[in-house]
Structure 1
Amino acid sequence: MTTLSHWLTDDSPASRLQARLGRWYRMGLALWRNRLAMLGVAIVLALVILAVAAPYIASHDPLVQDLTRRLLPPSGDNWMGTDELGRDIWSRVVFGARITLVIVAMVAVLTAPIGLLLGAISGYLGGWIDRLIMGVTDIFLSMPKLILALALVAALGPGIENAGIAIAITSWPAYTRIARAETLTFKNAEFIAAMRLQGASTARIIFAHVLPLCLSSMIVRVTLDMAGIILTAAGLGFIGLGAQPPLPEWGAMIARGRSFILDQWWVATMPGFAIVIVSLGFCLLGDGLRDVLDPKSGDRH
């Protein structure tokens, strides 16, 4: 193990593979030493495990109603109590992790690559293409994200898929701005000029060199934005435009528990705790990744 560690941390790597593995090893060590970041990793992993193994972790069927057991407080049989229809809240929170993870994945898959590509093209090509892309980006950035998402979901219709699409449409401009700013910092660098002299096409330079260099900042921004995305999805569910009943979506569960908040506090509080904890996990993970991927930001802390 010591020999492998020395090989990974060698200051003079013998191959590109060794250099790449060594870089990832150093970043992993730096992340491991950051206790708050590891707490974020643990929370995000717990979310994934809950979502994947929900049928085995949940103690009850999240959709089965039993009015004889409505509004029971937390107990050994119902860890988080029951709601107004006698459904087990713990089981609904566990299955709700699937909905949250689906929305997070949809936004990450749809938004980050589009924003990254548009920003790289805008920053590298410049000219009228830059003005066109940035003009559209500024239009989207000028409108509040939640209001725009509400308008889009209202037009598309309520549902988890439409909510994810609406959140993705409102999120890409920030990634485009970041990718463009990153591209402008090295578009005139010597290695880019050397690639042009070797006859590399514009597409090859963008995809093989510009996009990988923008990837680190994009990963950090996506991770930090996940908390806002989860809150936006919960907000849409809260007003009835997200996942529809009887699906156990956390925002909708809070909305249904408002009527009982004074006497049966657990109905709305338990899914609220889930939202806060998962959002905190993504924030801690994103902050740790920022320190690892951008050492200068870590020095400022």
Structure 2
Amino acid sequence: MSALTQWLRDPSPQSRLQARLGQSFMGWLRFRRNPLAMAGLAVVLLLLVVAAFAPWLAPYDPIAQNLKLRLLPPLTAGHPLGTDDFGRDILSRLIMGSRITLFIITLVAVTAPLFGMLVGTIAGYFGGWTDEILMRVTDIFLAFPKLILALALVAVLGPGMENAVLAIALTSWPPYARVARAETLTVRNSDYIAAVRLQGAGAARIIWGHVMPMCLPSVIIRVTLDMAGVILIAAGLGFLGLGVQPPMPEWGAMISAGRKYLFEQWWVATMPGLAIFIVSLGFNLLGDGLRDVLDPRNSGK
């Protein structure tokens, strides 16, 4: 292990692979020194594990109803988090709901940043009227609050998980376009871009192969920090009945179903609320840690 560590720490790497692995290793060492970032990573990894093994971890069917067991308090035998108004085990519904949350996060994280990066790099690289048109369209989307715009889109498209994901993705791309445009403006006139252009590379190749990779660190940080907002918007849509439809165990819909029992059977709404809070906090802490690692201004710390 010491030989591998020494190889990764070599200040004069002998290959591109060694250089990239060494850079990743040093970044991991800086990340590991941040206890809050490690806590955020633990929360996100826990979400992944729970979502992956949800059918085996859930002690009960999250949809099956048993009115004889309705509104049991936490720490009841067999139901550590209690049951809801239909007698469904809350722990099982939270576990299965993690899959829905992760599904929404993954689809939004794949679609919105990619589209935003494409718009931002094209606008920053070409400039002129292309930049003006694309950025004014971006400003129009940024003029509306995300949740309000998502509500309007879902109202037009109709309720459902797929439409909720589409609405969230359509409202999430403008910040990535702004970040990518700013990064592109700083590198489009650099020497290595000019060298690639002199070698005969076209605009598409330069944008895709050289400009967009330079935007990735900033976009990755932004994606991680925005995941908390995505979770809250998805939960808000579910709370209003415009997202995932019952009886699917979506956390926002669970809070909505338990709000009428908030003062007496508080656990029905509190448990999914705590799940949203913990996962959102985990992504925020992870994003702060990644920002410290991926920011080139902190590379020497």
Alignment TM class, shorter chain as reference: over 0.9
CA distance in 2, matches of 1:251, 1:173: 25
Distance change in 2, residues 1:297/1:260 (3 Å): farther
Structure 1 vs Structure 2: percent identity of aligned residues?
63
Q: Secondary structure at the match of 2:96?
A: helix
Q: CA RMSD in A?
A: 1.3
Superposed, 1:29-178 pairs within 5 Å as: 29-75=29-75, 76-178=77-179
Superposed, 1:1-301 pairs within 5 Å as: 1-75=1-75, 76-296=77-297
CA distance in 2, matches of 1:256, 1:17: 52
Q: Secondary structure at the match of 1:282?
A: helix
CA distance in 2, matches of 1:182, 1:79: 49
Distance change in 2, residues 1:21/1:39 (3 Å): same
Return the offset for 1:148. 0.5
Q: Structure 1, unaligned stretches of length 5 or more?
A: none
Distance change in 2, residues 1:281/1:299 (3 Å): farther
CA distance in 1, matches of 2:117, 2:193: 18
Distance change in 2, residues 1:164/1:252 (3 Å): same
Q: Secondary structure at the match of 1:85?
A: coil
Q: Answer yes or no: is the 8 Å Cα contact 1:41–1:285 preserved in 2.
A: yes
Return the offset for 1:296. 2.7
Matched AA of 1:26:
M
Q: Answer yes or no: is the 8 Å Cα contact 1:116–1:176 preserved in 2.
A: yes
Deviations 1:10-63 (A, max 9, x none): 111111111111111111111111111111111001111111111111111100
CA distance in 2, matches of 1:295, 1:262: 50
Deviations 1:240-288 (A, max 9, x none): 0010000000001001101111111100000000000000000000000
CA distance in 1, matches of 2:267, 2:10: 54
Matched AA of 1:134:
M
Deviations 1:142-200 (A, max 9, x none): 11111100000000000111001000000000100000000101111111111112222
TM-score in terms of structure 1 length: 0.97
Matched AA of 2:55:
P
CA distance in 2, matches of 1:202, 1:219: 24
Distance change in 2, residues 1:26/1:299 (3 Å): closer
After the TM superposition, which parts of structure 1 deviate over 3 Å for at least 4 consecutive aligned residues?
297-300
CA distance in 2, matches of 1:35, 1:165: 35
TM-score in terms of structure 2 length: 0.97
Deviations 1:81-121 (A, max 9, x none): 00000000000000010110011011111101111111111
Matched AA of 1:28:
W
Q: Secondary structure at the match of 2:31?
A: helix
Matched AA of 1:45:
L
Q: Secondary structure at the match of 2:273?
A: helix
Return the offset for 1:230. 0.1
Return the offset for 1:298. 8.5
Q: Structure 2, unaligned stretches of length 5 or more?
A: none
Of residues 267-276 and 51-60 in structure 1, the stretch that sits farther from structure 2 once superposed is: 51-60
